Protein backbone atom coordinates (compact mmCIF):
# COMPACT_ATOMS: atom_id res chain seq x y z
CA UNK A 1 0.00 0.00 0.00
CA UNK A 2 1.25 3.50 -0.86
CA UNK A 3 1.14 5.58 2.30
CA UNK A 4 2.30 9.00 1.12
CA UNK A 5 1.36 11.67 -1.40
CA UNK A 6 3.53 13.36 -4.01
CA UNK A 7 3.17 15.79 -6.88
CA UNK A 8 6.16 14.23 -8.67
CA UNK A 9 4.99 11.46 -11.03
CA UNK A 10 8.50 10.00 -11.22
CA UNK A 11 8.50 9.46 -7.46
CA UNK A 12 5.04 7.92 -7.73
CA UNK A 13 6.15 5.44 -10.42
CA UNK A 14 9.18 4.50 -8.31
CA UNK A 15 6.88 3.87 -5.34
CA UNK A 16 4.56 1.72 -7.46
CA UNK A 17 7.54 -0.28 -8.72
CA UNK A 18 8.90 -0.81 -5.22
CA UNK A 19 5.47 -1.86 -3.96
CA UNK A 20 5.18 -4.35 -6.82
CA UNK A 21 8.65 -5.79 -6.19
CA UNK A 22 8.09 -6.22 -2.43
CA UNK A 23 4.58 -7.69 -2.62
CA UNK A 24 4.54 -11.46 -2.24
CA UNK A 25 1.29 -11.96 -4.11
CA UNK A 26 -1.26 -9.52 -5.56
CA UNK A 27 -4.55 -10.98 -6.83
CA UNK A 28 -2.74 -14.18 -7.76
CA UNK A 29 0.27 -12.47 -9.36
CA UNK A 30 3.77 -12.74 -7.83
CA UNK A 31 5.66 -9.56 -6.96
CA UNK A 32 7.52 -7.95 -9.84
CA UNK A 33 4.96 -8.83 -12.51
CA UNK A 34 3.68 -5.32 -13.24
CA UNK A 35 6.62 -2.89 -12.93
CA UNK A 36 7.52 -2.64 -16.62
CA UNK A 37 3.96 -1.71 -17.57
CA UNK A 38 3.91 0.95 -14.82
CA UNK A 39 6.98 2.63 -16.29
CA UNK A 40 5.78 2.38 -19.90
CA UNK A 41 2.31 3.77 -19.14
CA UNK A 42 3.76 6.96 -17.62
CA UNK A 43 6.25 7.25 -20.49
CA UNK A 44 3.32 7.30 -22.92
CA UNK A 45 1.67 10.07 -20.85
CA UNK A 46 4.73 12.30 -21.25
CA UNK A 47 6.96 11.44 -18.29
CA UNK A 48 10.71 10.91 -18.86
CA UNK A 49 11.17 13.79 -21.29
CA UNK A 50 14.80 14.36 -22.40
CA UNK A 51 16.84 16.94 -20.53
CA UNK A 52 16.03 20.40 -21.79
CA UNK A 53 12.70 19.23 -23.19
CA UNK A 54 9.59 21.42 -23.34
CA UNK A 55 7.78 22.41 -20.15
CA UNK A 56 4.42 21.94 -21.84
CA UNK A 57 4.49 18.24 -22.68
CA UNK A 58 2.60 17.13 -25.77
CA UNK A 59 4.40 13.89 -26.66
CA UNK A 60 5.51 10.64 -24.99
CA UNK A 61 8.73 10.62 -23.00
CA UNK A 62 11.89 8.67 -23.68
CA UNK A 63 12.08 4.90 -23.23
CA UNK A 64 14.50 3.55 -20.60
CA UNK A 65 18.22 3.65 -21.31
CA UNK A 66 18.06 -0.09 -22.01
CA UNK A 67 14.84 -1.79 -23.08
CA UNK A 68 15.49 -5.09 -24.86
CA UNK A 69 12.52 -6.99 -26.23
CA UNK A 70 11.32 -9.81 -28.45
CA UNK A 71 8.85 -8.24 -30.86
CA UNK A 72 5.29 -9.55 -30.76
CA UNK A 73 4.11 -6.99 -33.31
CA UNK A 74 3.91 -4.06 -30.88
CA UNK A 75 7.52 -2.85 -31.25
CA UNK A 76 8.29 -3.51 -27.61
CA UNK A 77 5.30 -1.62 -26.24
CA UNK A 78 2.20 -2.84 -24.41
CA UNK A 79 -0.72 -1.73 -26.54
CA UNK A 80 -2.88 -2.73 -28.28
CA UNK A 81 -3.93 -5.81 -26.33
CA UNK A 82 -2.43 -8.89 -27.97
CA UNK A 83 -5.11 -11.60 -28.13
CA UNK A 84 -2.71 -14.16 -29.63
CA UNK A 85 0.41 -13.88 -27.48
CA UNK A 86 1.84 -17.25 -28.65
CA UNK A 87 2.25 -16.51 -32.35
CA UNK A 88 5.46 -14.51 -32.20
CA UNK A 89 7.20 -14.29 -35.58
CA UNK A 90 10.46 -13.20 -33.91
CA UNK A 91 10.90 -16.77 -32.65
CA UNK A 92 11.33 -19.35 -35.40
CA UNK A 93 12.38 -22.95 -35.95
CA UNK A 94 14.82 -24.53 -38.37
CA UNK A 95 15.20 -28.24 -39.06
CA UNK A 96 18.96 -27.78 -39.44
CA UNK A 97 21.42 -25.49 -37.66
CA UNK A 98 21.76 -23.34 -40.77
CA UNK A 99 20.98 -19.81 -39.47
CA UNK A 100 18.05 -19.54 -41.85
CA UNK A 101 15.54 -16.78 -41.13
CA UNK A 102 12.30 -18.46 -42.32
CA UNK A 103 10.28 -20.62 -39.95
CA UNK A 104 10.12 -24.35 -40.69
CA UNK A 105 7.59 -26.69 -39.10
CA UNK A 106 9.29 -28.64 -36.28
CA UNK A 107 9.88 -32.36 -36.80
CA UNK A 108 8.74 -34.33 -33.76
CA UNK A 109 11.25 -36.66 -32.13
CA UNK A 110 14.43 -35.27 -33.69
CA UNK A 111 16.66 -32.31 -32.86
CA UNK A 112 15.44 -28.97 -34.27
CA UNK A 113 16.96 -25.51 -33.84
CA UNK A 114 15.26 -22.33 -32.57
CA UNK A 115 16.31 -18.73 -33.14
CA UNK A 116 15.24 -15.50 -31.44
CA UNK A 117 15.50 -11.92 -32.72
CA UNK A 118 16.24 -9.42 -29.94
CA UNK A 119 15.69 -5.68 -30.36
CA UNK A 120 16.42 -2.64 -28.20
CA UNK A 121 14.08 0.36 -27.95
CA UNK A 122 16.29 1.93 -25.27
CA UNK A 123 18.32 5.09 -25.72
CA UNK A 124 21.72 3.36 -25.24
CA UNK A 125 23.31 0.10 -26.39
CA UNK A 126 22.27 -3.02 -24.47
CA UNK A 127 25.20 -5.01 -23.10
CA UNK A 128 25.58 -8.45 -21.47
CA UNK A 129 22.59 -9.74 -23.42
CA UNK A 130 21.48 -13.27 -22.50
CA UNK A 131 18.52 -15.23 -23.93
CA UNK A 132 16.99 -18.01 -21.83
CA UNK A 133 14.84 -20.70 -23.43
CA UNK A 134 12.18 -23.09 -22.15
CA UNK A 135 10.11 -25.87 -23.70
CA UNK A 136 6.57 -26.82 -22.74
CA UNK A 137 6.33 -30.03 -20.71
CA UNK A 138 2.84 -30.88 -21.96
CA UNK A 139 0.38 -29.70 -24.60
CA UNK A 140 -1.43 -26.53 -23.61
CA UNK A 141 1.28 -25.32 -21.21
CA UNK A 142 -0.16 -22.19 -19.61
CA UNK A 143 1.44 -21.58 -16.19
CA UNK A 144 4.95 -20.35 -15.37
CA UNK A 145 7.13 -22.05 -14.19
CA UNK A 146 5.03 -25.18 -13.58
CA UNK A 147 4.50 -26.18 -17.21
CA UNK A 148 8.01 -25.47 -18.50
CA UNK A 149 11.46 -27.06 -18.58
CA UNK A 150 14.73 -25.39 -19.65
CA UNK A 151 16.28 -26.10 -23.01
CA UNK A 152 19.78 -27.57 -23.20
CA UNK A 153 21.71 -25.31 -23.16
CA UNK A 154 19.23 -23.22 -21.19
CA UNK A 155 20.76 -19.89 -22.23
CA UNK A 156 22.88 -18.33 -24.95
CA UNK A 157 24.64 -14.96 -25.07
CA UNK A 158 24.17 -12.53 -27.92
CA UNK A 159 27.24 -12.39 -30.13
CA UNK A 160 27.19 -8.59 -30.01
CA UNK A 161 25.68 -5.75 -27.98
CA UNK A 162 22.22 -4.71 -29.15
CA UNK A 163 22.47 -1.09 -30.33
CA UNK A 164 19.80 1.48 -29.59
CA UNK A 165 17.15 0.93 -32.24
CA UNK A 166 18.97 -2.16 -33.49
CA UNK A 167 18.66 -5.93 -33.29
CA UNK A 168 20.62 -9.20 -33.09
CA UNK A 169 19.65 -12.83 -33.67
CA UNK A 170 20.48 -15.32 -30.91
CA UNK A 171 20.68 -19.04 -31.59
CA UNK A 172 20.54 -21.79 -32.54
CA UNK A 173 18.90 -23.36 -29.49
CA UNK A 174 18.77 -27.16 -30.00
CA UNK A 175 15.47 -28.73 -28.93
CA UNK A 176 13.55 -31.93 -29.57
CA UNK A 177 9.77 -31.52 -30.08
CA UNK A 178 7.73 -34.08 -28.17
CA UNK A 179 4.40 -33.55 -29.97
CA UNK A 180 2.79 -31.43 -32.66
CA UNK A 181 1.78 -27.93 -31.57
CA UNK A 182 4.52 -27.60 -28.98
CA UNK A 183 5.44 -24.23 -27.47
CA UNK A 184 8.77 -22.50 -26.79
CA UNK A 185 9.20 -19.67 -24.28
CA UNK A 186 12.11 -17.21 -24.34
CA UNK A 187 13.24 -14.28 -22.24
CA UNK A 188 16.05 -11.81 -22.94
CA UNK A 189 17.95 -9.98 -20.23
CA UNK A 190 20.56 -7.24 -20.50
CA UNK A 191 22.51 -5.17 -18.02
CA UNK A 192 19.84 -2.93 -16.50
CA UNK A 193 16.85 -4.78 -17.97
CA UNK A 194 16.08 -8.27 -16.69
CA UNK A 195 13.40 -10.57 -18.04
CA UNK A 196 10.55 -11.46 -15.72
CA UNK A 197 11.61 -15.08 -16.23
CA UNK A 198 14.44 -14.13 -13.85
CA UNK A 199 12.39 -11.85 -11.59
CA UNK A 200 9.26 -14.01 -11.20
CA UNK A 201 11.01 -17.29 -10.50
CA UNK A 202 8.54 -19.05 -8.20
CA UNK A 203 5.09 -18.20 -9.55
CA UNK A 204 2.74 -19.63 -10.32
CA UNK A 205 1.56 -17.04 -12.83
CA UNK A 206 -0.42 -17.58 -16.05
CA UNK A 207 1.68 -17.20 -19.16
CA UNK A 208 -1.11 -15.02 -20.54
CA UNK A 209 -0.08 -12.43 -17.93
CA UNK A 210 3.64 -13.14 -17.70
CA UNK A 211 4.23 -12.73 -21.44
CA UNK A 212 1.87 -9.82 -22.06
CA UNK A 213 3.29 -7.81 -19.13
CA UNK A 214 6.97 -8.13 -20.11
CA UNK A 215 8.33 -7.21 -23.52
CA UNK A 216 11.51 -9.16 -22.68
CA UNK A 217 9.48 -12.35 -22.76
CA UNK A 218 7.74 -14.09 -25.68
CA UNK A 219 6.49 -17.52 -26.64
CA UNK A 220 5.56 -19.28 -29.83
CA UNK A 221 3.37 -22.30 -30.40
CA UNK A 222 4.23 -24.25 -33.54
Interval 5-22: pLDDT, tens = 777 777 878 877 787 777
Give the mean pLDDT of 204-214: 91
Interval 142-175: pLDDT, tens = 999 999 999 999 999 999 999 999 999 999 999 9
pTM above 0.75, yes or no: yes
Report domain extents, the chain: 1-62, 68-221
Class of domain 68-221: mainly beta
Q: pLDDT band at 27, cuts 50/70/90?
A: low
d(CA 158, CA 191) in angstroms, rounded, equals: 12
d(CA 134, CA 111) in angstroms, rounded, equals: 15
* C-beta atoms surrounding 78 within 10 Å: 17
Q: Worst-scoring range by mean pLDDT, 51-55, 62-66, 110-114, 158-162? A: 51-55
Q: Which residues pair with 74 in a beta bridge?
A: none
Amino acid sequence: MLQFTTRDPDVYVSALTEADATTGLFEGHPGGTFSKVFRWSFEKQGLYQPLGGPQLVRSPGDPPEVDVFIDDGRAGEYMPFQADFAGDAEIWNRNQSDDGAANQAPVVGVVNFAYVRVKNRGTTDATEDIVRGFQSKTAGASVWPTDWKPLTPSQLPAANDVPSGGEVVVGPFPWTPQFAGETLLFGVSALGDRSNLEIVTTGPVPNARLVRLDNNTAQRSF
